[in-house]
Structure 1
């Protein structure tokens, strides 16, 4: 088995702004595992918020190249367990490697990955389409460019948030979800939840700073809308902690270390009665196609990453009016198209 690393700069169609970041280019690392005629792909993006760089991920993987290339990969879960001790400090690199492993393994079996898990994609939830924080006029324009049944609205300017959602609501009947990206306080969240409920908002994602557990409890008990944890739910152990503080969790594969731990987190959240969402980090079709294999297990999905970029380096799953359309390929459905590929 051969390890190949591809560094790619993803160009965003629009400047993407959230409460703590703004960017026009998203650097990403695509991991390829090649074994004879089979090629498995995985991906993880760089992020300043979590201190993740492309060089850091590449160095972490290069340090264990021999272990990776000599592994039999007979079982992706065992492969993850064997690699995790060496990549424990870089969950993003572990995620990209794990996705590639599952893709390669399923291609060896000659089946799409979701079929090997006995999942029925007809039960998949719709994915939302994210509207990054901007002026009301620009956000309306972004909605009009892509009519969609379900929008995720990035907020985080407490004095403007309600007026912004009201302005957007005048232009669409689509369901809204709002994501404050840790930008509110307790009073903001409770008060705004009542108004947002009347504006057709389905839930609020991570209104408070990630470590404000006392505040999260109060919002959980008094909010007029479900509250979904994002920055407060990173590792597997965080799922248990979120019970009684949030109504659901948003699992990000890059943060937890890949498909393998994400599946365990989904099953554990179900045991605890939590709603389950899986989100993305503006990945290309490589990462989105890997995440999409989990869709039938979810209540909510935020898998619009590939739709936000102008130079997708791969093909894979697509979304028609919010509904996943799986590629007619085995594994996760990814085909890379870098250079002459």
Structure 2
């Protein structure tokens, strides 16, 4: 296989803020793998919370470039295991695994969702994320992008009041993501008010390792709670089933599509609602997530919609929130 790496700095339409950080630009690494005239593309973004930079990912890959290029590629699963055995970080493995899956589908001439035995007849509607800001700015963002479901980032002293004000401007469903900013007591106290304001569920309200707090929330919260920072890899799913109503799988955190497929199955077997979420990433990463959409209860794949300009073509998210799947095989990705 021929391997190529490229770093991009993606400019955002608006400053994107969550409870622990803000940014106007997002660094990302694009991997391409070429074999027999076909090229697959994968992506992984930098992430300060997990101490991942594009430079660190590129360095990891360069140390095993020769082994990757000489690998006898057949199916994504054996390539993924090869990467795991090399000890790469999950973010780095993700980019390579997404590229391998895209390549695999293109070699077969079939989209991944079809290879996995699903169809695009039914899929959940992606939410659109409203980052933390002053209330007028958050309202303006909603007015700029009318959407049926908003994920609202919170983590302030007046979180319920923010939702109360936003509710005056839309009938859309709200999902709340506090990004670990609340206590168990706050979560339990806020939930009845938020439920009345049309909130569907809460995502990761507590710190990732606050299992004692999550036990209280599991017993007393009137809204469903979805794990994000508490559910990183496959081994986390079973523990999360004891404390959460669902899991949000991030491809970068778990190591790509290959383990995500196993996590989806395990989550469903345990009776959890299953969601796949995105980073602020280009259509390369979003198109990979879209292949999983028919298997999901919820999906958060708005990352490329938050950018000033995209670097790739693939899945298209229409103004009515429907999806246009590309006709190419794999994830259907082409770089611009």
TM range (shorter): over 0.9
- TM superposition shift of 1:120: 1.4
1:65-214 alignment to 2 at 5 Å? 65-88=65-88, 90-157=89-156, 159-214=157-212
In structure 2, C-alpha distance between the alignment counterparts of 1:324 and 1:279, rounded to whole Å: 16
Matched, 1:282 2:274: no
Determine helix, strand or coil for the equivalent of 1:241.
Answer: helix
Unaligned runs of 5+ in 1: none
Match of 1:62 in 2: 62
Determine helix, strand or coil for the equivalent of 1:122.
Answer: coil
User: What is the aligned residue count?
Assistant: 335
TM-score where L is the length of structure 1:
0.97
1:249 equivalent among 247, 250, 266:
247
TM-score where L is the length of structure 2:
0.98
Q: Does the 8 Å contact 1:178/1:204 carry over to 2?
A: yes
- Residues 87 and 322 (structure 1 numbering): CA distance in 2 closer, same or farther, change over 3 Å? farther
Match of 1:46 in 2: 46
Q: Does the 8 Å contact 1:194/1:225 carry over to 2?
A: yes
1:48-74 CA-partner distances (Å, limit 9, x unpaired): 110000110001111111111112211
- TM superposition shift of 1:39: 0.6
Aligned residues: CA RMSD? 0.8
In structure 1, C-alpha distance between the alignment counterparts of 2:25 and 2:7, rounded to whole Å: 13
- TM superposition shift of 1:296: 0.8
Match of 1:302 in 2: 300
In structure 2, C-alpha distance between the alignment counterparts of 1:70 and 1:295, rounded to whole Å: 33
Q: Does the 8 Å contact 2:109/2:328 carry over to 1?
A: no
Q: Higher mean Cα deviation, 146-155 or 68-77?
A: 68-77
Q: Does the 8 Å contact 2:18/2:179 carry over to 1?
A: yes
1:68-113 CA-partner distances (Å, limit 9, x unpaired): 111221111111011112144x110100000000000110001111
Deviating above 6 A after TM superposition, structure 1's stretches of 4 or more consecutive aligned residues are none
- TM superposition shift of 1:128: 0.2
Q: Higher mean Cα deviation, 319-328 or 303-312?
A: 319-328
